[in-house]
Structure 1
Amino acid sequence: MSSETPKDQWGERLPRRLGAFSAIAVLVGSTIGSGIFRSPAVVAQDIDTLAPFVLAWVLGGLVALAGALTFAELGGMFPRTGGIYVYVREAFGELPAFLFGWAELVILRPAAYGAIAVTSAEYTWRVLGHDAGRALWVVIPPGTEPDSGLVISLAQGLAALFIIVVGIVNFRGIRLGAIIQNVSTALKVAAILGLVGLGLALVPDALPPITELPTRPDRAPEPGTLGAFGLAMVAVLWAYDGWSDVGFVGGEIKDPARNIPRAFIGGTALVVGLYLLIDMVYLRVVPLDQMPGRPLIAADVAEALIGPIGAVLVAGAVAISTFGTLNGSMMTGPRVFFAMAEDDLFFRSLARVHPKHGTPGGAILLSIVLGVVFVSFQGFAELADQFVIGIWPFYALSVAAVLVLRRRQPELERPYRTWGYPWVPLAFLLAAMYLLGNYAIRETGKFALDIGIVLSGVPVFWLWRRRRAKKGHAR
């Protein structure tokens, strides 16, 4: 592999091979994954009445749109590989940008890979007629009781295999990854529209009631309260997450001044519309008080509409959908490590571009290892919460970057200017403050752990700065 690939006019070494459709498919395909097929059950644990449940999904969509409108300006200004890393670096400097990359390394990207891959694996096992929770492998450390060992389930084992497969695909070239992304995105949109059509046209059969609903944590606020609504929004925003991902491959998009803003705005608007439609169908078929007991709700709804074959078909569609989302996440995530290495803030080997495939091969291999490790130790809910709370401080910084750069560098070329400026960015920042503040109050221990892990990157940053200075590469 060689790191001497020539740079283009934006200072980018990776080849620009993604057109407008592929850019939109990256965003839509990265967003529509495990969340919309699982999060309604999680949301219903905290919201037990109809109006607030619907409001949560509407507000989540508006927040995602506000973020996309703002990121569209940043993406047009900085069509570089790295997305949020680049936006934060340009506005606030290297330390907060490095902390984002550090968070991606130790929390965000592995948690995302794990949550998405586990969902894809669970639906795959449902299609095959097997219990995804059955033990595949049990590791019992010496000197411990047999029931205290680490249990790797069938779902976790298959999820690890999926991570390896999409990693190999993306290692071999972004064109191959883009083909999978385009096809899987088209299939998942068609599946959602098909389920929506069936749900609005047919009278569903009654689903058998669930008598043993999931228990809520002792410290959880009562359903229907403002605190409970805030916790539910974590699951909603997990479902909407992905609206920022196209920025990570900004350095590989053709005609970026036009295509990046279009992908951010058009792709996010499409996702919001699809989510609100499918939530209508869920509510038509499944009583809200029964949702918490149906983690694979899409398959249950299809079974109520057209019988057991519907459950199998939808389970297969969801498995493909989430596999496509995993592919999109593997396509975008390693670009952050590549961008950090370009700045000499990470191992230089990760900045090498494969001479044949034109991909950041080392960064992709690192992502595979991290994903497999995380998926082996945690379940869906823990992974999703870790991701949302870890990423949102950096979403807030990126949106604030638009405000900062408008004042500090008004002369910079902006192919697109945020609609509704400054109110749209400010509304997003208020939503971020509410989300993070509420989670910090309600889940203090988890919040402190996540923030502590992010801040542990501060001494690592200074070590890398010192190492870079010794090599004579100080910026």
Structure 2
Amino acid sequence: MPSTTSRIIMAVGGASASECQPLKAGGGGGGSGGKQEVKLRKELGLFDGVAIIVGVIIGAGIFVSPKGVLLHAGSVGLALIVWILSGILSLVGALCYAELGTMIPKSGGDYAYIGEAFGPLPAFLYLWVALFVIIPTGNAITALTFAQYVLQMIQPNCEPDVDAIRLIAALVTCLLTAINCRNVKLVTKVQDIFVGTKILALGIIIVAGLVYIFQGNLENLSQPMQGSSTEPGLIALSFYSGLFSYAGWNYLNFVTEELRDPYKDLPKAIAISLPLVTVVYVLTNVAYFAVLTQNEILASEAVAVTFGSRMLGAMTWVMPFFVACSTFGALNGAIFASARLFFVGARQGHLPAAIALINVDCLTPVPSLIFLCLITLVLLLIDDVYVLINYLTFVESLFITMSIASLLWLRYKQPNAERPIKVHISLPIMFLFVCLFLVTMPVYERPWEVGVGLLIIATGIPVYFICIRWNNKPKWMVRASDGLNLLCAKSFKCHFGKAEIMASPDLYEMSNRRGFRQRPYTAPMATYSFDSENSTANNTPRPSIYTISRNVVMDDRIWQGGSSLSEPADALGRRRYVIPRGVARLVRNLSGRRRREPVPLRPRSAPFSIASQEPSANTVRLARLSVEKLQPKKAAPNLSTKVAPSQSTDLINSIAKSTISLDDPTMMSNTGYCWKRNIDPQSHSYIGWLSLVALACLYNCWVIPLRCFFPYQTPENTPIWLTVDFCADIIYVIDMAFIQPRVMFISQGLWVNDRSQMRRNYLTKIEFKMDIMSLIPLELLYFWLGTDKPYLRVPRILKIHAFYEFFSRLESVLASPHLVRVARTVLNMLYMVHLNACAYYAFSDWEGLGSNRWTIADTGNVYVRAFYFATKTATSIGKNPKPENEKEYVFMTISWLMGVFVFALLIGQVRDIIATATRGETEYRRLLDQMLQYMQRLNLPHDLQVKVKLWLTYTWQQQKTLSKPRDCLSHTETIT
């Protein structure tokens, strides 16, 4: 039997806990116990998944304050519509997460998806904010709500004491943490019980409301749409409140690794939970609206309690009890799911390694749970923890937006990846626009809170580079980190075995000084295994190697045989061997970027070199594909450059043996297995992107003068204008940061597809300088000058070169490029007329609108009238009012001169376009006439002349080219 202290072992898994190697449980002097797999148990079934989602979504909100939607919707009917649509949109988002969860079956939810798509920094920033703000704050507020309603049941007529509320909140947090530490099955049983309590409570409300309705009490529902809001801003805020009430539908993705069958249970749980919650929410609100008036709902501090006092009589005390049970279940589910997030973050090296410990008896992440509990207890001491909620809504919406964007990005980057659940592409696109709306709306409604939220996110950037990316840390920092790991290991009974070795000499010395006799914990980034078939001398299996950012740790007992060891076996019992860091770095480099995948290493008896390894079947297959790519697909029989079968085989083997990693960009670009990082400027996808950029540029060029001079930006529609501005700016940023540096170019007659050269080419172009200047953030002055200063966006017009590049690229792919030129010319003319109309209105406003017959009157649609005036002036048609002073004469003179220029430019360009469009056909007809005259001069048979004419006509109709007629004519002239 293994000793008691040795039964608490640390989880040193790889990419996931389920990938951990089995560890032997044995003490220093104990016998050889059986193998135990130290990983999180897969104990969650379909019903448990449904309970987690329903339990987290249905918190205290539906009982306490479901009035945010009604407040902004303005009517009962519109509020119910918003509740239904919000549930449908949440279901769409949950289905998108189901695809991500089955494609990336790792715990961690948004953290895993953002890291997979966008890299470690964005994932760490999400983990940073979730660790210290989002999750602990939510848990603290839920615990405080529970305490408040518990005290309300005990003392219904007294104001609850603040200290008593905090004490009860701390006790319930510690209690649920202990339950979560004990057993996963116990947690799910508690969750199932309290989810049933929630459904029972809401069922009582629904049944009471329906009975009240069936009794004929329909006064409050007689005119459901009366007073409905018609302003887009208020309707948007009602949707914002409705979607926030469904928050929590993504929590099951935090515990994907603990689902028995995530590929089936995850989508089924989502498909069951969201419709169930939507139906319950809608029916509960119908009951509220039927029993309580709109004013009573908006004035109530706890709608369910008010409803209970109206309908339940002596059983009013039941409602506070049900609210407390609801918050208790919601807090239990949140603790269970969110602790796995921190466990996964520590396992990936983004948090202290000690947080990834797993208790072998319970197989639960005990340190992660306790760490979360401590942060929550600290937040309970803050006087006004509710203030943090104002900063969290924007931050959480931002990271959900990144997760949905990661789905679309992975669809593009990894189109052939296995996706057991694959939603239609329209669903993530639609939900992405909803998320962008949720992100941009607070920017203009509550800019100060958004700024604080962004500042909270930005504080994680220096932490990431100092604690994660900085490899050559000072020795004192390394020893402090190792000491923390040792302290946590001792606190949770994770002692070191004297038959096992460690990677860090400092850590080993510290463990000897402090009396540890068991192995320390290090959070691995990858798992490498020796082949255990070649064990030597004492039949001792070869160890497993676990690597972290700077260490390599050998697991199991010391391997005491092998010809590569220079010391006798008895000396190995006294010394601990540490694999050099250079070998560890080599192993990591050989594994490529996918450091979490197991890489087989050579045995110690064989020399460790890439050339000595036999190529794997997968590598040979990729090499064969590379050779096939390099060979011409349709080679002529007489080609001397064709690769012989023997040469092809040699080439395949040489490529296979020289391949170090399947992530090699050269190999992957040849085989087509890797996402193409280069952009062909003549491709349809790039032209499609340019159309979006050109649309954003045209919006800025047209709307900025319009908003500067015409009174079309009002306080009511300013959020809409600013939202569209923000979307256009996002397009600018994406084009400058991600698209243009990857566009190929021609140098010395060859396409250049090297990333560094493409980036350097873009940085040296004048377009890059204009892009930088166009993104000067003068909008920051909105905080001091106000949002009614659209002239601060004038630098955005400098992106105009993208507008002309789009038309230039479009000409090269269309069969009728003259139509593109006509459209571009017309747009140029209309824009100059538009600028003249803006100038005319500004001049009239300066003199006084309607002050004389020449100035424009402030009646009707002033822009249409000003544009009409500018059009007549530019084309010199119609009769405009006569100027009445010198300033007006000067303005009209400039306008007429500009009109003459525009008119002449338009006529000249249209003439050139028509001439260019018909030049090819004219030349073709001339050559055809010459061909027919030549055949008649030779007295060729009539049927032959008809065949030649038909062939030439067919060639022109199919190819619109003159190469064939020219060739034929040259051949006939040669014959003569």
Range class of TM-score, shorter chain: 0.7 to 0.9
Q: Hey, what does 2:334 align to over in structure 1?
A: 329
Q: Hey, what does 1:83 align to over in structure 2?
A: 109
Instruction: Indicate which of 243, 255, 260 corresponds to 2:261.
Output: 255
Question: How far has the Cα of 1:225 moved from its partner?
Answer: 4.0
Distance 2:365 2:327 in 1: 23
> Over residues 438-466 of structure 1, what are the superposed CA-to-partner deviations in whole Å (9 max), with x where a residue is unaligned?
11111111111112101211111112223
Instruction: Indicate which of 399, 403, 424 corresponds to 1:394.
Output: 399
Q: Give the aligned CA root-mean-square deviation in angstroms.
A: 2.5
- TM-aligned CA distance change 1:9 to 1:167, over 3 Å: closer
Matches of residues 44-443 of structure 1 in structure 2 within 5 Å?
44-130=70-156, 134-137=160-163, 154-202=164-212, 225-309=231-315, 311-377=316-382, 382-418=387-423, 421-443=424-446
> Over residues 309-332 of structure 1, what are the superposed CA-to-partner deviations in whole Å (9 max), with x where a residue is unaligned?
1x2112211211110010000001
Question: How far has the Cα of 1:158 moved from its partner?
Answer: 2.1
The amino acid of 2:257's aligned partner reads G
- Contact residue 148 and residue 160 of structure 2 kept, 8 A: no
- Contact residue 42 and residue 232 of structure 1 kept, 8 A: yes
Mean alpha-carbon deviation: is it higher for 391-400 or for 377-386? 377-386
Specify which structure has the bigger relative contact order, considering alpha-carbon pairs within 8 angstroms and separated by 6 or more residues.
1
The amino acid of 1:28's aligned partner reads V
Question: How far has the Cα of 1:361 moved from its partner?
Answer: 1.0
- TM-aligned CA distance change 1:42 to 1:381, over 3 Å: farther
- Contact residue 17 and residue 254 of structure 1 kept, 8 A: yes
Task: Identify the structure with the greater helix proportion.
Answer: 1
The amino acid of 1:257's aligned partner reads Y
Report the secondary structure of 2:241's partner residue.
helix
Distance 2:416 2:158 in 1: 56
> Over residues 254-297 of structure 1, what are the superposed CA-to-partner deviations in whole Å (9 max), with x where a residue is unaligned?
01111111122221221111111111111111222222221211
Distance 1:379 1:234 in 2: 24
Question: How far has the Cα of 1:114 moved from its partner?
Answer: 2.0
Q: Hey, what does 1:143 align to over in structure 2?
A: none
- Contact residue 88 and residue 401 of structure 1 kept, 8 A: yes
The amino acid of 1:11's aligned partner reads E
Question: How far has the Cα of 1:300 moved from its partner?
Answer: 1.3
Distance 1:130 1:205 in 2: 33
Report the secondary structure of 1:333's partner residue.
helix
Instruction: Indicate which of 11, 17, 20 corresponds to 2:19.
Output: 11
The amino acid of 2:19's aligned partner reads G
Report the secondary structure of 2:66's partner residue.
helix
- Contact residue 81 and residue 248 of structure 1 kept, 8 A: yes
Question: How far has the Cα of 1:379 moved from its partner?
Answer: 5.4
Mean alpha-carbon deviation: is it higher for 336-345 or for 293-302? 293-302
- TM-aligned CA distance change 1:354 to 1:27, over 3 Å: same
The amino acid of 1:304's aligned partner reads R
Distance 2:471 2:97 in 1: 30
- Contact residue 13 and residue 347 of structure 2 kept, 8 A: no
- Contact residue 79 and residue 251 of structure 1 kept, 8 A: yes
Q: Hey, what does 2:800 align to over in structure 1?
A: none
The amino acid of 2:299's aligned partner reads G
Distance 1:133 1:42 in 2: 25
> Over residues 341-395 of structure 1, what are the superposed CA-to-partner deviations in whole Å (9 max), with x where a residue is unaligned?
1111110000111121111111111111122222332658545444432211111
TM-score, normalization: structure 1?
0.86
Question: How far has the Cα of 1:469 moved from its partner?
Answer: 6.8
TM-score, normalization: structure 2?
0.43
Question: How far has the Cα of 1:121 moved from its partner?
Answer: 2.0
The amino acid of 1:167's aligned partner reads T
Question: How far has the Cα of 1:14 moved from its partner?
Answer: 1.5
- Contact residue 106 and residue 257 of structure 2 kept, 8 A: yes
The amino acid of 2:332's aligned partner reads N
Q: Hey, what does 1:2 align to over in structure 2?
A: 9
The amino acid of 2:269's aligned partner reads A
Question: How far has the Cα of 1:60 moved from its partner?
Answer: 1.9
The amino acid of 2:103's aligned partner reads M
Mean alpha-carbon deviation: is it higher for 113-122 or for 50-59? 50-59
Gaps of 5+ in 1: 138-153, 207-222
- TM-aligned CA distance change 1:382 to 1:282, over 3 Å: farther
- Contact residue 65 and residue 303 of structure 2 kept, 8 A: no
- TM-aligned CA distance change 1:135 to 1:224, over 3 Å: farther
- Contact residue 90 and residue 246 of structure 2 kept, 8 A: yes
- Contact residue 11 and residue 17 of structure 2 kept, 8 A: no
- TM-aligned CA distance change 1:9 to 1:300, over 3 Å: closer
Question: How far has the Cα of 1:171 moved from its partner?
Answer: 1.4
Mean alpha-carbon deviation: is it higher for 27-36 or for 47-56? 47-56
- Contact residue 108 and residue 391 of structure 1 kept, 8 A: yes
Instruction: Give the paired residue count.
Output: 441
Mean alpha-carbon deviation: is it higher for 439-448 or for 56-65? 56-65
The amino acid of 2:276's aligned partner reads L
The amino acid of 1:33's aligned partner reads G
Distance 2:240 2:140 in 1: 17
Distance 2:65 2:472 in 1: 46
Gaps of 5+ in 2: 1-7, 21-38, 218-228, 474-548, 552-587, 589-594, 596-976
Q: Hey, what does 2:550 align to over in structure 1?
A: 472
> Over residues 123-172 of structure 1, what are the superposed CA-to-partner deviations in whole Å (9 max), with x where a residue is unaligned?
222222346853344xxxxxxxxxxxxxxxx4333222221211111111
Q: Hey, what does 1:216 align to over in structure 2?
A: none
